[in-house]
Each structure stands twice: as C-alpha cells, then as structure tokens.
Amino acid sequence: MANYLRTEGICLRRLAYSNTSQVASFLTPDSGRLSFMAKGVTRAPKKGIRTGFDLLGRYEILYTPRRPGALQNLTYQWLREDFHGIRHSLRSILCGYYAAELALNFTIEGYPCPGLYRLMTEALRRFAAGQFLGMNVLVLELGVLQEHGACPAFDHCIECGGELPGRGPVTFSPPDGGPLCPCCEAPERGRTLPVRADYLQALHRLASGAEPEPLAPRRVVALSTIVRFHMRWLLDRELRMWKYLQRRQLSKSLRRVRHHVR
Ligand SMILES: [Zn+2]
C-alpha cells in the first residue's frame, strides 16, 4: 500500500508537463523545498476551463514520497490561502515573486525550515495587504540568509572580533562574512562595500529578531543594498527580480551593487 504523507506548502514555481500535468516546487515547513509531479492537475473539469497551481498559493498537499532529489508524486491538493490582494498591486506581486525567488535560491531540498516557512507566510500576507513592502522584503532577505546559515555578522569586526566605530564609514566584506574595523580592513576592489556604521547597527537589530521600526524608504533601500551585495557574492550572480523591484522604485540597490562590483 502506498505510503501517503500530508503537509502544506507554498507554490514557488510551476511548469507545464504534458497536456494535463505540472511539475511544481513548494516550500514546506517539514521538508524544506520539495518538487512534485502533479499528474492531471490541469485537467479541465469542464470544457474551456484550465486549472493548475496558483503561484504563491498555500496548499495542503497529500503525496507519496520518492527518494531524495527525485520528483515527489503529488496525489491531491487543497488551496488553503491565496493571499488575496497580492495580485491587486504590481508592487505587491513583484515582492511576492521575489519572495519565491529567494526561497528557491536559499533553501535546501528536504531540509526542514519551519521558521522560514512561517516568515514567508507572514511576508506574503503583508505583501497582500500592501504595507511597508520594502521593510518586509528586507526582513525576508535576512530570514532566508539566516535559514541558509549565510547571514553575515553586523555588530563586530569579523576579523578581530573588536568593536566597530559608532559613526562614519565601515568596510563590509562579504568574503569575510561581515564588517572589518579600521585596523583590519584591506579593501579588495569590487569585493567590499563602504557602509555607514549606523546601517550595520540597524541590520544587527533586525537580524536579532527585533520588531522592525518604521524607517524612511531611502534608509530601507540602503539596508537592502548591503544584504543584496552579500547575496550577490554568495550566488556569484544577481537575482532576477532585483531589476524589476528597482524599476518600481522599491529599491535602487541593484545599481549600487553594480557600481561597487564593477
Ligand atoms: Zn578588526
């Protein structure tokens, strides 16, 4: 008898497969990112009607597991939450697509991530409500880096462990995993970023789980710039959604990242 598992997940990506099937990637709390073969999922209940997974929909799913790395066999799904409102604004849906891209790039197949799943669900609800999009994006960016074990330090010199200057510019070095104090810095062109000390303090508070404070949009963009500079070094490429977020004036960070890696 088949061994069925039940879980829930957020649809991060889906691709058509044959006439009536889809291959879909989900973020699940208990098994991280999982990819499913959903046979017959787009089969029309009536002529002229197409069905399939809603991108970013939260589903309860029933599946039969396969070996790690293989496509899991999805048996049944129930849509539990469609984050109503996220498609009413272009900025909200772009943030939603970016959340999916972050989860696809910074989660591991089969590895439980209940904290990140909760963070992702909350972020999508806030995007749907259209509130404080930039700050919610930044909180999610820090969350995926922490889940991935790749979040840099922000509160001390990564080389000597010493205190950072309270004011003025500090060198932030992704290859080292955080900032360098004036005694330790040895800037390599294109791999470090001069940042304001108070921006690092703000990032440290957010990464430590402090309740986000209302910040001016320009300040949020500056904080995201630092986080994305680090991500670009980790991935050795830019994420696809950055340029769209920038185009909508949500973030000018990509231009700054390009400027510094040139
Ligand atoms: Zn130092």
Domain edges within the chain:
1-82, 84-262
Q: 84-262 belongs to which CATH class?
A: mainly alpha
Q: Residues with Cβ < 8 Å from 133, sequence gap 6 or more?
A: 91, 92, 95, 126, 127, 250
Q: Determine the pLDDT at residue 250.
A: 53
Distances (CA, A) of 142 to 13, 150, 166, 175, 238: 22, 9, 22, 17, 16
Q: Which of 10, 14, 30 is nearest to 121 (CA)?
A: 10
Q: Is residue 215 within 8 Å of residue 205, measured between CB atoms?
A: no
**pLDDT recorded at residue 28:** 96
Ligand 1 centroid–CA 171 distance in Å is 10
pLDDT score of 138: 95
231 CA to centre of ligand 1 in angstroms: 22
Which of these, 91, 122, 84, 120, lies nearest to 241 by C-alpha position? Answer: 91
Question: What is the SS3 assignment for 34?
Answer: strand
Please list the helix, strand and coil fractions of the chain in percent, rounded to the nearest 5, in that order: 35, 20, 40
Look at residue 259 in the predicted model and tell me its pLDDT.
Answer: 63
pLDDT lower than 50: segments of the chain: 262
Ligand 1 center to 150 CA (angstroms): 20
Using the mean position of ligand 1's atoms as its centre, give its distance from the Cα of residue 164 in Å.
8
CATH number for 1-82: choose from 2.40.50.140, 3.20.20.30, 3.50.40.10, 3.40.50.2300: 2.40.50.140
pTM here? 0.88
How much is the pLDDT for 171? 93
> Which structure tokens are listed for 101?
């891209």
pLDDT of residue 178: 94
Q: How many CA atoms lie within 13 A of 112 on its CB side?
A: 4
pLDDT (0 to 100) of residue 255: 60
